[in-house]
Structure formats: C-alpha cells, structure tokens
C-alpha cells in the first residue's frame, strides 16, 4: 500500500495533476478558485452565502463529490465555508443539510449536502440536525429550465424531527434558491424562527 502510494501520488480533482496528500486540488488549481464577495445574497427569500462561484475548480469539486463518489472532498469544501463565512451566520446556528430523495440516496450511497454539513460541524462545533426529508418523484435539477427551478424542487420537502429554532441550511451548490426556499418553508411551518444558508458554490449571476 505504501509503495503504491509512492508510485501513484494523489491527483487533483480538477486538472488531474499531482496534488499534496490530503489535498483535493493542486496548488495551481487552488489559486484558480473563483472567489465571491463576502456579503450574502438573497435568493427566493433566503439569505445565502457561498465562498466560491460555481465554475472552474469549484465546479469540478462539486462534480467529484456528487457524481464520482469522492466523499473525501467534502472536508476541504467545508473548510472553505468555515474559514470565510460571515461570523453572524455561524454563531448559534444548527446546521441542517438539504435532503436527498431516498431513491437517489440509495443509488449514490450518501447525501452530498449532509457530507458537507458533517464536515462543517466538525470544524465549527455547531450542532447538526438532519431533520428534512424529500418525497415525491426523484427528478434531478440538472436539465430543468430556470422557470421550473424557480417554481421549486421536483417533489416536496418535509420534516421528520423537531425543528431547531435557528437554522443554517447547507448544500453543495445553489442556482435559483428554490430548493432552499422549500426547505425554509417546511422548517418555518415546524417552528423555526431564523433562517440562513451556506453553500460551497453559487451559480454565476445569482
């Protein structure tokens, strides 16, 4: 195993070049991460903050986590959030991952939003409550038109446990914010009073 590691060093998830052990990206690709402004934005009535734009190496990390089984990249993605998020978003919040449809969970074996939320909880010491569920047809957001995305996620989102009073929703990437808004609605109906969201990357122009 040691010899194999020496002969085949870790590869960057963006350019496939050599990376330092434990790093998801090589030094060059880390320098190309498309950073966003420090201020949160409002999407579909939800206050959302992301450290990076959904392009370049950031997009490659999202793809690695969501479609290539690279659960290990959730920690460096969470590190970007923990190191740069506005302090008022993190203070006193309970992390709640955006849910994945059960059928998609069975196929993938994990929820990418939950993986990021778990890593973020370890880095920040914040409580984690995986209390949301997704029901209805397991239709992906990929390929849906903007109007369809803004209308809300395919299926519906509900809650299966006690709702925290102050919630910080966690997801890998946000486009229109409709899914976050559906999560917020379910939580509000269950008694949550304060909402914000952090995501690893936000689609440019949002």
CA–CA dist 86, 83 (Å, integer): 9
What pLDDT sits at residue 175?
94
Domain count, the chain: 2
- Mean pLDDT per 10-residue segment, the chain (206 residues): 49 95 94 95 97 97 95 97 94 96 91 98 97 78 50 73 95 96 96 97 81
User: From CA 134, how far away is CA 8, in angstroms rounded?
Assistant: 40
Distances (CA, A) of 77 to 8, 10, 131, 175: 24, 17, 22, 17
Does 176 share its domain with 135?
yes
- 69 and 152 in one domain? yes
The residue segments making up the domain with residue 178 are 33-202
What span, in angstroms and rounded, lies between the C-alpha atoms of 33 and 8? 25
> What is the CATH number for 100?
3.40.50
Q: Domain check: are 135 and 101 in the same one? A: yes
How long a stretch of residues is the chain? Answer: 206
On whether both 89 and 7 belong to a single domain, the answer is no
Q: What is the pLDDT of residue 114?
A: 98
Whether residues 101 and 126 fall in one domain = yes
Q: Is the pTM of this model over 0.85?
A: yes
């Amino acid at each position: 195993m040691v010899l194999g590691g020496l002969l085949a060093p870790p590869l960057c998830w963006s350019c496939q070049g050599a990376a330092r052990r434990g790093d998801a990206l090589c030094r060059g690709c880390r320098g190309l991460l498309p950073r966003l402004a420090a201020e949160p934005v409002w999407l579909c009535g939800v206050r959302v903050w992301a450290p990076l734009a959904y392009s370049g190496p950031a997009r490659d990390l999202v793809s690695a986590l969501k479609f290539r089984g690279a659960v290990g990249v959730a920690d460096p993605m969470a590190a970007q959030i923990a190191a740069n998020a506005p302090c008022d978003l993190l203070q006193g919040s309970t992390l709640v991952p955006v849910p994945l449809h059960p059928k998609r969970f069975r196929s993938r074996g994990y929820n990418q939003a939950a993986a990021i939320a778990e890593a973020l909880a370890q880095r920040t010491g914040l409580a984690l409550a995986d209390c949301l569920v997704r029901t209805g047809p397991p239709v992906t957001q990929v390929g849906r038109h903007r109007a369809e995305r803004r209308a809300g996620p395919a299926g519906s989102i509900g809650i299966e446990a006690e709702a925290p009073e102050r919630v910080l929703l966690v997801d890998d990437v946000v486009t229109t914010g409709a899914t976050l808004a559906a999560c917020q609605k379910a939580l509000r109906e269950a008694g949550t009073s304060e909402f914000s969201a952090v995501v690893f990357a936000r689609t440019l122009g949002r």
